[in-house]
């Protein structure tokens, strides 16, 4: 009888334990492929972090830290050397060596019909030289200070498993062999990804033995799944449900500032901009948005605190520059413009527009958190200082195509710096548009400032971290005092988790199963 | 009969061609998928390279001709977003939608026709009045709201049913089905009921109206005068005659449930075709959108054909001959 009781208890304990080591997590975005080089998309990269892993990892503030490489350094202006971690095994038991690194970098350029290739981070690597199985040198044709940052986006696959493998082979699991903390068990597109712990992982052992990522793209459904206990954690809490979840003692909320800034881009280049009119709605002789004083007035007219409080329900931080404080290249002296409608009116009068003018703001309505409502608020604030602003909202599939064709005069857009440092938005949003130089590709306002371009170019060629950071800070100051774009706020990344589990919130919007740990209550 | 079917199929081929052209041009007009798919950090040359890799650098007419040529050999192209053949993508999602649609129609028919019949036979009874009042709710409450309320009630408060997703599946004829597992049925219950609600109300109202009308017909009066039992009058004379409009509506509704169960699939995170369509439209994944709508056209053509064949079985006056085609 006693024995029976003991067995029953043991069985029960075992059942509880094994249950305790499983976690189901609700994702807000769909994972389109397991092939880590197929599409540079946050949900895909997130899953790849579990299965594969990179030479250089990023911590929760996106600062580089050793991953599959233990150290790296420039050995001359055009060469970086990476010392690889020894004794690392892939999921199939084979050894990880420099061959796999060279293969993975090369593979980024060879994925068939990739809609978002990683070559944007690897094209500057002209040659990989394998010195020995644990040393690899990457060469470039020009000084390349961002080598380690860019290489941190390239997931390392096993050459043995992935030679000749197609994207389909990764999705089926056949080629999905990495050296990451989890092994792929099952990928059901649009539904779930199941992972099992890799007990031979080189790094800290994750707590959860079995992980199920559920694709729950609809906001209320994701929250409902958490409330019903079908998942233990969700990312991306809808602002409307925030207050309710915060009050519920069964759940804990984790949040941190995001690397995604919401900004307003103005057509500061053309003399006649399609949606700039006088107050009667007639086209204007000259484009007021070309005048920095007008742009500055617009920035002063925006009450950032009100947007954060009212529209974002507190889930945002007012932004005066392109990345949150503390990230590489941000300038501590650049602060958000204070709300000052009178100052704005004065500046407008000084620029020769005492009565203001007419403007239309275009915004996506399904891309960023509360995007359309933010545009509505901005329009009202601008109208209050005399710039009569209309709002036109549209789905992102129309918005981005039209924006890139320069159909708009004034638009609301967001920017997430995947690399975690400020050269990313400076290069894409504020540098003068130039196809030859590959600059300003997302500069939909065609802002141009030769002074900023020169400083940025110098920064991008400076390998020394300290000097580069100074130059980037200088470029940020030039662009922001000239109001190349108006930044409104940084989004806040949120996770809701069942009581008893904690999560280390990340700026890069990734939801790592190994970031969840049980806490003592 | 055979000529009739052949003619119908030929007409469908023309329909498919027109449909493909419309969708092709429509998706093209919305915008460029590369603007949405590529990482915003990409520079101009990378963007151009991707546009070329996806074949989007050619003029529209050339892209369409390439599509037609491949389509004739059975290849509808690969998804821009997933790089999987579009048709495989759709077929892999179809079983999930099919079982959801079948379950919903089953609920609607099994409950709707008897309730409607009752309401038609005893229009003044209290039960009949409650049935009709209830059906108004089924009509007018928005699907997404009802879906969320079901989740709040049965999953969050009572904890009886799982809130979202598809349950455990088993393979049958190489296809994954969840209707054959207990876990699968538990997951299916709420979305199926949610999807059925509107059809259920529709069938109740339609059946009731037809029944009321049929009861006034001479053949019913005659049958009753002959002294037939009520059961036989209703079961044979009434039911058979009211079935024609009902079958039409069931056919059409089944098609639309299959094609456009998008709201229900989204709320319940049901990995079916409807969700695929919405996701594909959002990133302008043209091969998938075109292939999806072509598949749906084919489904509708077959359902309509089937409905016509059922007509002729139900009503001897309907003859499937060229020129006198019903429907």
Of A230, A398, A427, the CB nearest to B164: A230
Any domain includes B277: yes
- Residue numbers in A near B32 (CB within 8 A): 401, 404
Contact B40 A442 (CB under 8 A): yes
Q: Can you give the pLDDT at residue A122?
A: 93
What value does the mean pLDDT of chain B take? 85
**Which residue, among A221, A402, A456, would best test binding to B if mutated, counting the most B CBs under 10 Å from its CB?**
A221
What is the C-alpha to C-alpha distance for residues B321 and B327, in angstroms, rounded to an integer? 12
Name the pLDDT band for A11 (thresholds 50, 70, 90). very low
Proportion of chain A above pLDDT 70, given as a percent: 96
Any domain includes B18: no
Over residues A137-172, the pLDDT tens digits come to 999 999 999 999 999 999 999 999 999 999 999 999
Any domain includes B96: yes
C-beta separation of A321 from A467 below 8 A? no
Contact A39 B156 (CB under 8 A): no
Query: For residue A14, is pLDDT > 60?
Result: no
| Closest chain A C-alpha to B38 CA, distance in angstroms | 4
**Which residue, among B269, B272, B289, B292, would best test binding to A if mutated, counting the most A CBs under 10 Å from its CB?**
B269
Domain coverage including residue B247: 86-314
Residue B77 in tokens:
């192209």
Any domain includes B60: no
Contact B31 A402 (CB under 8 A): yes
Strand-strand pairing, A388-394 and A358-364: parallel
Over residues B293-305, the pLDDT tens digits come to 888 888 888 888 8
CATH of the domain at B125: 1.10.3720.10
In chain A, whose CA is at the least distance from the CA of B90?
A: A189
- Residue numbers in A near B41 (CB within 8 A): 120, 418-419, 424, 427-428
Instruction: Give DSSP secondary structure letters for A185-225.
Output: EEEETTTEEEEEE-TT-SSPPPS-SEEEEEE--SHHHHHHH
Interface of B with A in 195-214 (CB under 8 A): none
Q: Can you give the pLDDT at residue A266?
A: 95
- Residue numbers in A near B268 (CB within 8 A): 221
Name the pLDDT band for A2 (thresholds 50, 70, 90). low
Any domain includes B35: no
Classify A255 as helix, strand or coil: strand
Over residues A230-272, the pLDDT tens digits come to 999 999 999 889 989 999 999 999 999 999 999 999 999 999 8
Query: For residue B13, is pLDDT > 90?
Result: no
Q: Can you give the pLDDT at residue B314?
A: 76
Classify A78 as helix, strand or coil: coil
Cβ contacts of residue B10 below 8 Å, gap of 6+? none
User: Which CA distances in Å does A199 have to A54, A179, A203, A325, B180?
Assistant: 18, 11, 10, 38, 35
Domain count, chain B: 1
Cβ contacts of residue B309 below 8 Å, gap of 6+? B320
Name the pLDDT band for A19 (thresholds 50, 70, 90). low
Of B45, B148, B152, the CB nearest to A438: B45
Over residues B70-85, the pLDDT tens digits come to 888 888 888 998 888 9
Any domain includes B69: no
- Residue numbers in B near A238 (CB within 8 A): none
Q: Give me the interface pTM, i.e. the ipTM.
A: 0.81
In chain B, whose CA is at the least distance from the CA of A439?
A: B43
- pTM for the full model? 0.86
Contact A395 B282 (CB under 8 A): yes
Provide the sign of the torsion angle of the four alpha carbons A63, A68, A72, A75, taken in this order.
negative
C-beta separation of B210 from B250 below 8 A? no
| Closest chain A C-alpha to B266 CA, distance in angstroms | 6
Q: Can you give the pLDDT at residue A171?
A: 93
Any domain includes B40: no
Phi, psi of A471 (to 5 degrees): -65, -40
**Which residue, among B35, B46, B266, would best test binding to A if mutated, counting the most A CBs under 10 Å from its CB?**
B35
Interface of A with B in 416-435 (CB under 8 A): 416, 418-419, 424, 427-428, 435
Residue A295 in tokens:
């742009």
First to last CA, chain B: 15
Cβ contacts of residue A362 below 8 Å, gap of 6+? A275, A392, A393, A394, A399, A402, A403, A407, A408, A410, A411, A412
Q: Is A115 near chain B, with CB under 8 Å?
A: yes
Nearest to A347 by CA among A291, A307, A393: A291
Interface of B with A in 245-284 (CB under 8 A): 266-269, 271, 275-276, 279, 281-284
Q: Can you give the pLDDT at residue B260?
A: 67
C-beta separation of A398 from A520 below 8 A? no
Query: For residue B176, is pLDDT > 50?
Result: yes
Residue A490 in tokens:
């940084």
Question: Once rounded to an integer, what is the mean pLDDT over residues B311-321?
Answer: 71
Q: Can you give the pLDDT at residue B320?
A: 62
Any domain includes B81: no
Instruction: Give DSSP secondary structure letters for B31-44.
Output: --HHHHHS-TT--H
């Amino acid at each position: 009888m006693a024995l029976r009781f003991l067995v029953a208890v043991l069985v029960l304990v075992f059942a509880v334990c094994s249950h305790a080591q499983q976690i189901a997590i609700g994702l807000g975005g769909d994972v389109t492929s397991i092939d880590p080089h197929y599409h540079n998309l946050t949900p895909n990269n997130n899953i790849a972090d579990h299965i594969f892993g990179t030479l250089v990892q990023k911590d929760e503030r996106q600062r580089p830290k050793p991953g599959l490489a233990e150290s790296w350094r420039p050995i001359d202006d055009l060469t970086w050397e990476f010392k690889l971690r020894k004794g690392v095994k892939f999921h199939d038991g084979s050894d990880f060596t420099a061959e796999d690194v060279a293969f993975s970098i090369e593979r980024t350029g060879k994925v068939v019909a990739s809609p978002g290739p990683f070559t944007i981070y690897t094209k500057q690597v002209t040659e990989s030289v394998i010195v020995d199985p644990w040393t690899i040198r990457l060469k470039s044709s020009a000084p390349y200070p961002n080598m380690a940052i860019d290489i941190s986006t390239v997931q390392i696959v096993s050459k043995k498993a992935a030679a000749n493998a197609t994207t389909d082979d990764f999705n089926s699991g056949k080629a999905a062999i990495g050296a990451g903390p989890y092994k792929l068990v099952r990928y059901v597109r649009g539904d779930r990804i199941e992972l099992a712990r890799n007990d031979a992982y080189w790094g800290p052992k994750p707590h959860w033995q079995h992980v199920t990522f559920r694709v729950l793209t609809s906001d209320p459904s994701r929250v409902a799944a958490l409330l019903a206990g079908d998942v233990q954690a969700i990312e991306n809490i809808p602002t409307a449900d925030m207050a309710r979840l915060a009050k519920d003692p069964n759940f804990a909320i984790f949040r941190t500032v995001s690397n995604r800034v919401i900004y307003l881009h103005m057509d500061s280049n053309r003399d006649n901009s399609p949606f700039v009119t006088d107050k009667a709605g007639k086209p204007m002789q000259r484009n007021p948005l070309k005048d920095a004083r007008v742009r500055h007035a617009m920035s002063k007219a925006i009450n950032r605190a009100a947007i954060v409080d009212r529209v974002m329900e507190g889930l945002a931080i007012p932004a005066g520059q392109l990345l949150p404080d503390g990230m590489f290249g941000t300038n501590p002296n650049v602060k958000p413009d204070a709300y000052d409608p009178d100052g704005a009116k004065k500046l407008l009068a000084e620029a020769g527009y005492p009565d203001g003018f007419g403007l239309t703001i275009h915004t996506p309505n399904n891309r960023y958190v509360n995007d359309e409502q933010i545009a509505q608020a901005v329009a009202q604030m601008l109208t209050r200082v005399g710039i009569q602003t209309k709002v036109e909202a549209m789905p992102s599939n129309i918005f981005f195509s039209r924006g890139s064709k320069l159909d708009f005069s004034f638009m609301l857009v967001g920017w997430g710096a995947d690399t975690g440092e400020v050269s990313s938005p400076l290069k894409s949003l504020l540098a003068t548009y130039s196809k030859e130089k590959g600059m300003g590709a997302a500069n939909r306002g065609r802002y141009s400032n030769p002074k900023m371009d020169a400083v940025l170019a110098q920064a991008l060629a400076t390998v020394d971290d300290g000097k580069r950071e100074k130059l980037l800070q200088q470029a940020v100051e030039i662009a922001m005092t000239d109001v190349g774009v108006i930044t409104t706020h940084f989004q806040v990344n949120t996770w809701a988790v069942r009581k008893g589990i904690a999560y280390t919130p990340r700026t890069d919007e990734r939801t790592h199963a190994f970031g969840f740990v049980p806490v003592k209550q | 009969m055979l000529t009739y079917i052949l003619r119908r199929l030929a007409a469908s081929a023309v329909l498919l061609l027109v449909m493909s052209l419309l969708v092709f041009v429509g998706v093209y007009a919305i915008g460029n998928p590369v603007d949405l798919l590529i990482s915003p950090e990409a520079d101009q040359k990378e963007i151009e390279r991707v546009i070329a890799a996806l074949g989007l650098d050619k003029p529209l007419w050339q892209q369409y001709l390439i599509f037609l040529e491949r389509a004739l050999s059975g290849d509808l192209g690969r998804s821009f977003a997933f790089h999987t053949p579009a048709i495989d993508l759709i077929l892999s999602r179809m079983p999930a939608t099919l079982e959801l649609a079948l379950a919903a129609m089953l609920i609607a028919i099994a409950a709707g026709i008897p309730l409607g019949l009752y309401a038609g036979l005893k229009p003044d009874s209290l039960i009949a009045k409650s049935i009709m009042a209830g059906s108004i709710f089924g009509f007018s409450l928005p699907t997404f709201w009802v879906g969320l309320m079901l989740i709040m009630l049965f999953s969050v408060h009572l904890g009886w049913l799982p809130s979202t997703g598809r349950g455990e599946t088993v393979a049958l004829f190489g296809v994954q089905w969840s209707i054959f597992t207990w876990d699968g049925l538990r997951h299916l219950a709420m979305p199926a009921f949610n999807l059925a609600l509107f059809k259920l109300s529709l069938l109740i109202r339609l059946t009731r109206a037809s029944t009321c009308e049929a009861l006034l017909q001479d053949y019913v009066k005659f049958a009753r005068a002959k002294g037939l039992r009520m059961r036989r009058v209703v079961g044979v004379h009434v039911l058979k005659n009211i079935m024609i409009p009902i079958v039409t509506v069931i056919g059409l509704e089944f098609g639309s449930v299959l094609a456009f169960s998008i709201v229900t699939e989204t709320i319940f995170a049901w990995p079916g075709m409807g969700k695929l369509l919405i996701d594909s439209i959002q990133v302008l994944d043209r091969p998938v959108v075109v292939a999806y709508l072509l598949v749906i056209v084919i489904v509708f053509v077959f359902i309509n054909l089937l409905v016509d064949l059922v007509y002729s079985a139900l009503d001897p006056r309907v003859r499937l001959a060229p020129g006198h085609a019903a429907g």
